[in-house]
Chains A and B, each alone.
Chain A
């Protein structure tokens, strides 16, 4: 079955530390890949997306993600976390040619001052 896995439910990092959030997918073919962020009480905002081409994708707020076909992964990274990055992060995929998005269960990020 098609699925998206975010293995870390909670992650805590200190401000200024680096961050990596994991996302793995299970599809027969490479889907379109997305990372969204949700601040408390808010809707979701797109951080970045991958369609094809360069496997390192740059997004907003200093985030980047790397697509690794061999590992079926699309991990989100940031070199130096800011307190305002505390939020919940969702990986999402959609099979090419369809419109059925599947979201991971989310990773809640806590940032220590």
Chain B
């Protein structure tokens, strides 16, 4: 198993550009999530999904869109990038099995995004 994969590893954008960060997992996990990591702020939840067709907002959803058309993929879209979105983005997945968030999350290696 490849686990959780993220592409690209690094991206530079200009203010106002759009892009999609890709996340895929091959563990058949129902739950997938996106976080951003900023110095001194830990990881903050952007969006999450408990299954195909179901998404919900986390702590910092503004400026980001998600969709979940398959179990494997959970892309994160930046519609109009801003310098405040410069960060490291992590995707994670788990298999809650009805436990309401009690299961281990498996993290991808991260995407480093710089918005100029």
Question: What is the interface of chain A, defined by CB distance below 8 A to chain B?
Answer: 6, 9, 32, 34, 36, 42-46, 49, 51, 90, 92, 94-106
Which chain B positions have C-beta within 8 A of A34?
A: 104
Q: How far is B62's CA from A109's CA once the two chains are assembled, in angstroms? A: 32
Q: Which of B14-22, B69-77, B79-87, B94-102 contacts A (4 or more CB under 8 A)?
A: B94-102
Give the Cβ gap from A29 to chain B, nearest Cβ, in Å.
12
Q: A90-B43, A103-B44 are contacts. A95–B108 as well, Cβ < 8 Å?
A: no
Interface check B13, CB cutoff 8 A? no
Q: Which of A51, A103, A104 contacts B102 (CB 8 A)?
A: A51
Q: Which residue of A lies closest to B48 (CB)?
A: A99
- CB contacts (< 8 Å) of A49 on chain B: these are 102, 104
Rank and list the top 8 A-B pairs by shortest CB-CB distance, nearest first: A43-B107, A94-B101, A97-B100, A103-B43, A103-B42, A105-B42, A44-B107, A99-B101
A101–B90 contact, CB under 8 A?
A: no
With an 8 Å Cβ cutoff, the count of chain B residues facing the other chain is 28
Say yes or no: is B67 at the interface (Cβ < 8 Å to chain A): no
Which of B56, B104, B105, B107 has the largest number of chain A CB atoms within 10 A?
B105
Which residues on B sit within 8 Å (CB–CB) of A95? 101
Q: Could you tell me if A99 and B107 are in contact, using CB atoms closer than 8 angstroms?
A: no
Of chain A, the residue at the smallest CB distance from B104 is A46
Whether A99 contacts B100 in the complex (CB less than 8 A), given A42-B109, A106-B42, comes out as: yes
Instruction: Give the nearest-CB partner of A46 in chain B.
Output: B104
Q: How far is the CA of A70 from the CA of B44 in the complex (A)?
A: 27
Q: Are B90 and A44 in contact (CB under 8 A)?
A: yes
